[in-house]
Amino acid sequence: MKGAFIDRDGVIIEERGYAYRIDDFAPLPGAIAALRKLAAAGYKLIVVTNQSGIARGLYTEADYLAFTSHMQEQLAAQGVRLDAVEYCPHLPEAPILEYRRQCDCRKPKPAMIERSAARLGVDLSRSVLIGDRGTDIGAGRAAGVGRCFLVRSGERLSVDDEALADGVYADLAECVGALLLSEAS
């Protein structure tokens, strides 16, 4: 079974800086259709997202979970079922003591990917990761994900980050289109 490990902010939804309110849910153009195409092509859909806003005290874990539930409901209403949503609330220098730690899940560490792959029976070598930062690529590489891509719809990419990726695309829709075209040939 193959998986698509996808960052949330800047890839699926607009990068708004710590999206946690229901009103912050704003899918990027073409993202929902791209997710449907990935699922139809046999990919398990797994969101992997760093959520340091929790550790920074900007919002609570309950706020994050309510937002995630809303996101899943909105996506399901448009024919997209996420197989897993993994998040890391930790930060080594966090002001909220409960979340202050060096963890193995904060990207570029691979634990979010590894945990969900093991739980879902995903073959990492046949899988893809799509993110908007070098830390996303780092996590994918550390976990052994077969192909790792960057999109420009979120954070500004450096030349160094782009060099880490197997491909760089304007957004999730373009990335998925190219991926599925390459698999068809």
| Distances 40 to 60, 63, 176 between C-alpha atoms, Å | 34, 31, 12
Q: Residue 136 catalytic?
A: no
User: Residues with Cβ < 8 Å from 184, sequence gap 6 or more?
Assistant: none
Per-residue exposure over 51-76, b if at least 16 CB sit within 10 Å of its own CB, e if not: bbbbbbeebebebbeebbeebeeebe
Q: Among 7, 136, 161, 171, which one carries the catalytic annotation? A: 7
Instruction: Please indicate whether residue 171 is annotated as part of the active site.
Output: no
Chain center to CA of 54: 17
Residues in Cβ contact with 118 at an 8 Å cutoff, skipping those fewer than 6 apart: none
The whole-angstrom separation of Cα 26 and Cα 18 is 13
Q: What is the DSSP string of 92-157?
A: TT-SSGGG-S--SSSTTS-HHHHHHHHHHT--GGG-EEEESSHHHHHHHHHHT-SEEEEESSSSPP
Identify the active-site residue in 9, 136, 161, 171.
9
Active site residues: 7, 9
